[in-house]
Amino acid sequence: MSENVILTGTVLPDSDVEKEIVEEAGANLRIEDVSSKEELIESATDPIGIMTIETEIDESVMDAFPNLEFISVHGIGVDMVDVEAATDRGIPVFNTPHYCLEEVATHTMSLILACERRICQYNSDVKSGGWDYKLEGPITRLSTKTVGVVGLGDIGLEVVKRIRGFGVDIVGYDPYVSEEEIDEYGVEKVDFDSLCERADIITVHTPLTESTRHLLDASAFDTMQSGVTLVNAARGGIIDQTALYEALEDGTVSYAGLDVLESEPPEDDRILNLDNVVITPHAAWYSEDALTELQRTAGENVATFLNGDVPDYVVNRDVVA
């Protein structure tokens, strides 16, 4: 009898790609469309592997399934998995780190330009009967701005490549990247406080970890100059949303472009009522091309492991070394 691999919390149109790849490797892929780890524990039957998109996988899940051999994440960030607990148990965690680099970088640029050029606000003005360029001013040239990039991994650098063409100055914060690594991209490495103090536009591309949760909090906003544009296409929890709301109200942040929120989807969130916020529904990753690559890469990670080899994308690689 084939061993079970669970695909949980799926928001995908279908899981045919993963099913074909995993089952060709000899396992049975079962879809468990659950909304919580508790429902997963209750519904699943002793899988050897879990593939997750949104469902939290923590110690309680790992302990409930003693034969668990791997955890696979559909996505770049693995904040829904307790990687430390998995590592302690010798369970490798896979991810798909490259599937949407182009999409997120392009979406980030779209949000920056929408905020800086007031695209959505002008659109609403005109559709409401207005026709006055002064309604959403003052607007200044992008080339006069300093852009601060928080997180200089693959996506952050893709954003840098695109925004350099606008003639901006770029400062970057990332404690895990050396000055030499980013110098060739024209990025000046600075500490986080300096970035907040100097940047006219701040764009967020760091993973969500214990050290980055609420990285942009009230104290960070206090160090910013008035009139900053803030864009987040990473994870909602990196920004203290209460502090952001207050910064938007008092003018510290003049415009925000958000693809992610602390609570998704939002319910009666007061930030939705602000005219100086552009929000998209955690869609920065999406294109049909990225979706295909995501599903294929996730399936191939699992199939490679089932065939006795080490996948290309293992977060805690020490456990398979």
The total of structural domains in the chain comes to 2
Report pLDDT digits (tens) over 155-188: 999 999 999 999 999 999 999 999 999 999 999 9
Question: Which of 7-11, 56-60, 146-150 has the least mean pLDDT?
Answer: 7-11
Q: Which two tokens stand for residue 28?
A: 């049975």
Structural domain range at position 168: 101-279
Task: Please name the helix (run of DSSP H) or strand (run of DSSP E) that holds residue 50, with its range, or none.
Answer: strand 49-52
Domain containing 298 — which CATH number? 3.40.50.720
Q: What is the pLDDT of residue 1?
A: 45
Enzyme catalytic residues: 235, 264, 282
Task: Please name the helix (run of DSSP H) or strand (run of DSSP E) that holds residue 7, with its range, or none.
Answer: strand 4-8
Does the predicted TM-score (pTM) go above 0.85? yes
Q: Are residues 125 and 248 in the same domain?
A: yes
Residue 191 burial (10 A CB sphere; 0-12, 13-18, 19+): exposed
Report pLDDT digits (tens) over 59-84: 999 999 999 999 999 999 999 999 99
Q: Are residues 56 and 85 in the same domain?
A: yes
Averaged pLDDT score across all residues of the chain: 96
Percent of the chain with pLDDT over 90: 94
Q: Are residues 146 and 242 in the same domain?
A: yes
Q: Are residues 87 and 134 in the same domain?
A: no
Q: Are residues 293 and 251 in the same domain?
A: no
Q: Are residues 146 and 275 in the same domain?
A: yes
Beta bridge partners of 4: 28
Q: If you average pLDDT over residues 209-218, what whole number do you get?
A: 97
Q: Mark which of 247, 262, 279 sits at the end of a domain.
A: 279
Contact 184, 142 (CB under 8 A): no
